[in-house]
A and B are shown apart, each in its own frame.
Chain A
Amino acid sequence: MTNKLEVIDLNAWFGTHQTLKGISLSVLPRATTAIIGPSGCGKSTFIRCLNRMHEVVPGAHATGQVLLDGADIYAPGIDPVQVRAKIGMVFQRPNPFPTMSIFDNVVAGLRLNGTRKSRRDLAGIVERSLRQAALWDEVKDCLHASGVSISGGQQQRLCIARTLAVEPDVILMDEPCSALDPIATAKVEALIHELKQQYTIVIVTHNMQQAGRVSDMTAFLYLGTLVEFGPTERIFTTPEKKETEDYITGRFG
């Protein structure tokens, strides 16, 4: 099986402050890769480098290579907008568009890119995406209600549906459950299990139990460097590095 994403010597800066130092790792297709580590270790920066969202922040830049199916997304002449359509992102806080209905939120990615699809096609995409995001049954009768009128957990699944609607290859999730209660978290985690049948998922989490529950591979980041990377089960049972063991057993972080 070839790797979906191949990260080679990735460095990232905010101004002159280097937050990622020479990270290399591979992401398997149709699997979940978790990024764990203490606050400020560069987890979010790392995942934002994977779809070129890092450089949106003024003063931020990155070097190195990220190969998506073998093609470098940092190669000159590559349009970051195209990259982000293939590598979708779900953010820490649910962020549906407040001026749009649930329906419009799901197809926002298509509409904002000037799709010529008919309303009927769009309705099909909305139903498919919401079903995939396990939200359809809860909102099918109020598709025209505002995207922010539903609960936080539903909003986050709406954001996942919105990402699915543009049919990306990879879905990046930046602590998708950190603003959710345990029940909503459980729903999103179940959803991640479903989605990995079809998509490649990279998830940042500071909740180690969550990493253990949802991921196949785990990377441990500390102070901007990759300390250890391997199958989740091995990382959690027999970590090779002392820092990893200390973090996992709760001695710091």
Chain B
Amino acid sequence: MTPTAEPTAGSTRLSYARRRLLNGLAQGGAGLCTLAVLLPLVLIFGYLLVKGFSALNLSFFTQLPKPVGEPGGGMANAIVGTLTLIALACILGLPIGVLAGVFLAEHGHSRLGSTIRFCADVLTGVPSIVIGIYAYTLIVLPTHTFSAYAGGFALAVIMLPIVTRTTEEMVRLVPSTLREAALGLGVPAWRTTLWVVLRTARGGIITGIMLAVARVAGETAPLLFTAFGNQFWHQGLTGPISSLPQQIYTYAISPYEDWHRQAWAGALVLLVLISLTSLAVRLLTRGHARSTL
């Protein structure tokens, strides 16, 4: 090579060592940060396991709460209640949220679009207890009763902006070439949106939905004066219904050692329940999610 090659090679070797050091530092720093993010999760899960696992037994999942002083009993009604409330929230909130997100992504360049987007963002920031009062005024007062419907409605309102905004982002990611491909085959626009665009964005939308479900599954405040709580099995959806977060809250602030242990177990069950649902949905939709977003 040219005579200048040697000094250049020397300095390259030197800077190579420097670059390796920098690279190592950056990588190590990023790794430490990742650990710092994961640590709380591990600690919470571990602490819950330690505290809650001992109180877990079959009757916890099958029995109603026992009166104070009587040993045993479980949270079967609260587990069923939480699942019922989540299902209600999904039935009410998901169709509206997903379709609103599609609207924002496909036709959201208008003034109406930016207004809706702004409202959704504000709604995300509204404290959940305020949404509880809203549901109380809108449903509990006129019907003169606390009900599962009121609780589900409150949770649906909390889910709505999260689902709308994630759906919008995911639909935006679908390349416009796919839309054009469908339109070019003589497919009407609405069918293109439903069967091509939504199908392609499915994985991402489901992730958003799972985040929203996980968020509302742990909500206590909006349920206090909507679903109200119930020490027994709920009698239909038009009456008060129990839920895990609320049962945990009641038990945790009680002065009884036995109830405290039950509260820990309840928290553990709630966490496992949410993780399992996320995992199951992810596994069920994996094939599609992987191929697209």
Query: A residues within 8 Å of B by Cβ?
Result: 51, 53, 56, 58, 81-86, 88-89, 91, 93, 95-99, 108-109, 112-114, 146, 148, 159, 162-163, 166
Contact = CB atoms under 8 A, between A and B. Distances in A.
B19 interface: no
Interface of B: 109, 175, 177-189, 191-192, 195-196, 199-200, 202, 288, 291-292
A85 to B, nearest CB: 3
A111 to B, nearest CB: 8
A114 B186 CA distance: 12
B contacts with A: majority SS = helix
Nearest to A52: B183
Given A97-B196, A146-B291, A148-B291, A109 B177 contact: no
Contacts of A83: 186
Given A58-B109, A91-B184, A99 B191 contact: no
Contacts of B181: 91, 95-97, 159, 162
Contacts, number: 82
Contacts of B188: 81, 113
A189 B196 CA distance: 29
B109 A85 contact: no
Contact of B185 (A82, A112, A114): A112
Most interface-central of A58, A91, A95, A166 (chain B CB within 10 A): A95
B186 A95 contact: no
A241 to B, nearest CB: 33
Contact of B191 (A84, A96, A112, A166): A112
Contacts of B180: 53, 56, 89, 91, 95
A88 B177 CA distance: 15
B199 A99 contact: yes
Nearest to A163: B185
Nearest to A56: B183
A112 B196 contact: yes
A84 B186 contact: yes
A56 B183 CA distance: 9
A31 B188 CA distance: 29
A112 B192 contact: yes
A98 B200 contact: yes
Contacts of B288: 99
